[in-house]
Amino acid sequence: MNPVCRRAYSDAAPCALTAAPAMTVTGTQARASGEVEARLGSGPRALADPAAEPVADADHGRHVPVVVDQAEELLTRTGVEEQRSSLRLLRGALDADSPLWVVVTVRSEFPSTDPDRAGPIEAVDEALVLEPPSRSRLPETAGRMGWPGRGTRPPMENNRGSYWIETAPGTAHPPLDRDLDVDVVVVGAGIAGISTAYEVARLGRSVALLEAGTVAGGVTGHTTAKVSVLHTLVYDKLRRTRNEEAARLYAVSQSEAVERAAELVEELGIACDWERRDSYTYVHGQKQVPQVRAEAEAARAAGLPAEFVGETPLPYPVTGAVRVTGQAQFHPRKYLLALVDDFVARGGQVFEHTPVVGLREGEPCRVTTESGATVTARDVVVATHYPIFDRSMAFARLSSHRELVVAGPMDADRDPDGMYITPDEGKRSVRTAPLEDGRRLLIITGEGFTPGTADTDERFERLSAWANERFPGVPLTHRWATQDNSPTDTVPLVGPLHQRAEHAYVVTGFGGWGMSGGIMAGRLLSDLLTGGRPAWADLYDPRRLRTVAREAPAFLQHQAKVGMHFIGDRLHSLDSADEIPPGGGGVVRTGGRQVAVHRDDSGRLHALSARCTHMGCIVAFNSAERSWDCPCHGSRFDVDGKVVQGPATKPLERREL
């Protein structure tokens, strides 16, 4: 196996490694602040061990996920040719002003997808690449990389934001201003966090729920709120990549979540517009029909009431669809705010505007907030959408994607009476919700993209045009955006935070299906926290990374994509802030550094560090939402640098122009 420290890094201090799988990598590099030594323990669990020495210095203690050397050979041999330029870019263009170390992690072996090559392909388990000591040449591939840094159009009119938040104002909860002792602390008050806290409290445990913003005001407040077991084309994929038992357990766990929500709606008398609806995944082209036929067969084999149909109640033709009957939709905030009220009545404590910045595992665990308060608890659940504490390299398995939503009132007799999604046309989702005047609110979602990589205004315009073409005459009065994370192997991560975790748990990676997924997670985690273990616990266990070897190609593609942004986005910047129009933003290189500059409507400039505080990727301006978005892991910041969405927990630093 070739060494990871290549000639390109020959000016760095020596790097030594032994052969995989029990690989040990050490390296030392001189810095202005003195000698920095990084050590990576041996064996496949080294990076998942929170007790191991950090793989960076104290000021920049983050792993940067890129794929080099053996990974390039691996991708070539498995037929993923389109990633090779990304890998060359990563290997040759680390920016000199980036004080970050680079880590590659690849599973030990997986089957070849090359028909001319039989048997498994072995890959490096862990390796470390040293940061180059000086600015390297710009790679030839850099010019082909797009840069979405400028915003030129003002926000669209009639932007009333999320309908769910507008129509369900919540009760304010105080920030935590004192130390606290409880049995369980849950970090994050979206549907997964609330469901977990609620289910644990019902079992008699004392629980504190901490939220950096407001309850159900983040991703959950911007969902399309389908409570369904039909998750596009998941069952056929699970049957092919895992086995039929995995598909069955997924179906059972998600079905149980749908019925749990129905049970609580009835038990607590929650007025949340709960409606039973059939759920459809449809396609337009004849070539795609086998996909939905296979999904119908796989879902039916998994025990669901699924069937293939040739038409739907939609007002436009389809070539085929899989239909699952008896699913549901609701108003997510009305449902969750009612759960929170009952949670508090049972002795639960809720604290808003309480960002968490530290976690020390042990017996007991201790969670530290931004204000300095400490919560001591036996168990901790990290339910922050994207984990703010990543001790199992979840960032290497999660890809963030953002989708846009437009909505407007329509006559009830035009209601398509169902919940719909298609993987075609950049993905489109359709549902309606009841309005007080008897009409229905048409809700259309689509235009999925990686945060920080697209002109959001143009995408809103395309989605609006699609809605107007298929539902003519419907005025679009609301628009918002939602974001989710998808694991490389499709299945959410729910369970222990890392390999050695005994009292710390995580929930993430719903892939756009957080309603049933979040409710399922609440049930699963409440069982794990109280000594139970459902039959599907292993299916969702985050520690499964090294057992799903066949997902390695997706893993490597994701790593290469992240690395391309980490390097390539450093190569694209404006020459001057004068190029930025009012309402726009862009990354300007000044004094050898990249600065994120926004010009407000009055013409005043706001300058921030362009480097995301999560892992150092370069942010891009989102003109539609007036935010700085990170393309690597989905962190978002407002124009003043404040964190809007994690995994980043620290604001962008202010800069002078």
pLDDT digits (tens, 9 = 90+) for 147-176: 233 333 333 445 679 999 999 998 899 999
Q: What is the pLDDT of residues 292-349, one digit of tens each?
A: 999 999 999 999 999 999 999 999 999 999 999 999 999 999 999 999 999 999 999 9
Domain boundaries, the chain: 7-145+550-568, 182-222+344-396+492-545, 228-330, 402-487, 572-645
pLDDT band at 395 (very low <50, low <70, confident <90, very high): low
Q: What mean pLDDT comes out for the span 170-197?
A: 97
Residue 16, pLDDT > 90, answer no
Asked whether the predicted pLDDT for residue 127 surpasses 70, the reply is no
- Higher pLDDT, residue 46 or 406: 406
Q: What is the pLDDT of residue 334?
A: 98
Q: CA 519 to CA 223: how far, in whole Å?
A: 14
Q: From CA 318, how far away is CA 289, in angstroms rounded?
A: 10
Task: Indicate whether 391 pLDDT > 80.
Answer: no
C-alpha 490/C-alpha 246 separation (Å) is 12
Mean pLDDT of 426-449: 94
pLDDT value, residue 557: 52
Q: Which of 237-251, 474-488, 567-581, 603-617 has the lowest mean pLDDT?
A: 567-581
Q: Count of alpha carbons within 13 Å of 26, Cβ hemisphere only?
A: 4
> Which residue intervals of 242-324 are DSSP H helices?
244-268, 289-301
pLDDT at site 574: 64
The H or E element containing residue 470 is: helix 456-470
Burial of 492 (0-12, 13-18, 19+ CB in 10 A): buried
Lowest mean pLDDT among 375-389, 421-435, 572-586, 619-633: 572-586
Other CB atoms within 10 Å distance of the CB of residue 631: 26
User: Which of 305, 282, 392 shows the shortest CA–CA distance to 48?
Assistant: 392
Asked if residue 43 has pLDDT above 50, the reply is no
Cβ atoms of residues 395 and 615 within 8 Å:
yes
Question: Per the omega criterion (within 30 degrees of 0), is the bond before 305 cis?
Answer: no
278: nearest Cα among 297, 258, 249, 298: 258
Does residue 44 register a pLDDT over 70? no
Q: Is the pLDDT of residue 569 over 80?
A: no
Bigger pLDDT: 272 vs 28: 272
Where residue 454 falls among pLDDT bands split at 50, 70, 90? Answer: low
Which pLDDT value is given to residue 487? 87
3-class secondary-structure state, position 336: helix
pLDDT, residue 626, reads: 83
Helices (H), 471-551: 514-529, 537-540
The yes-or-no verdict on residue 637 having pLDDT over 50 is yes
The pLDDT-based confidence of 627 (bands split at 50, 70, 90) is confident
Q: Is 572 helix (H, G, I), strand (E, B) or coil?
A: coil
Mean pLDDT on 391-398:
70
Banded model confidence at residue 91, pLDDT cuts 50, 70, 90? very low
- Which residue from 634, 614, 483, 460 is spatially nearest to 561, judged by alpha carbons? 634
Name the 3-class secondary structure at 196.
helix
Those residues whose C-beta lies under 8 Å from the C-beta of residue 604, and which sit 6 or more positions away, are none
Question: Average pLDDT in the 213-230 region?
Answer: 95
Q: Confidence class of residue 573 from pLDDT cuts 50, 70 and 90?
A: low
Do residues 650 and 609 make contact, with C-beta atoms less than 8 angstroms apart? Answer: no
Lowest mean pLDDT: which of 478-482, 574-578, 602-606? 574-578
Q: What is the pLDDT of residue 594?
A: 86
With 0-12 / 13-18 / 19 or more C-beta atoms within 10 angstroms meaning exposed / middle / buried, residue 317 is exposed
Q: Which residue has the higher pLDDT, 448 or 165?
A: 165
pLDDT at 572 (0 to 100): 53
Rounded CA separation 147/617 (Å): 13
> φ, ψ for residue 159 (rounded to 5)?
-85, 90
Q: Which CATH architecture has domain 402-487?
A: 2-Layer Sandwich (3.30)
Whether the model clears a pTM of 0.85, i.e. scores above it, the answer is no
Residue 65 has pLDDT above 60, yes or no: no
Give the model confidence (pLDDT) of 21-36 as tens digits.
322 223 322 222 222 2
Is the pLDDT at 533 greater than 70, yes or no?
Answer: yes
Place of tokens 């009055």: 602
Q: Which residue has the higher pLDDT, 457 or 351?
A: 351
Sorted by sequence, the CB contacts under 8 Å of residue 465 that are 6+ apart come out as: none
Q: What is the mean pLDDT of the chain?
A: 76
How far, rounded to the nearest angstrom, does the alpha carbon of residue 469 sit from its chain's CA centroid?
Answer: 31
pLDDT on residue 17: 27
182-222+344-396+492-545 fold: FAD/NAD(P)-binding domain (3.50.50)
How confident is the model at residue 47, as a pLDDT?
30
Q: State the pLDDT at residue 390.
A: 67
Of 249 and 27, the one with more pLDDT: 249
Res 545: pLDDT: 59
pLDDT band at 109 (very low <50, low <70, confident <90, very high): very low
Q: Identify the pLDDT of residue 484.
A: 86
The yes or no reply on domain 572-645 and CATH 3.40.50.300 is: no
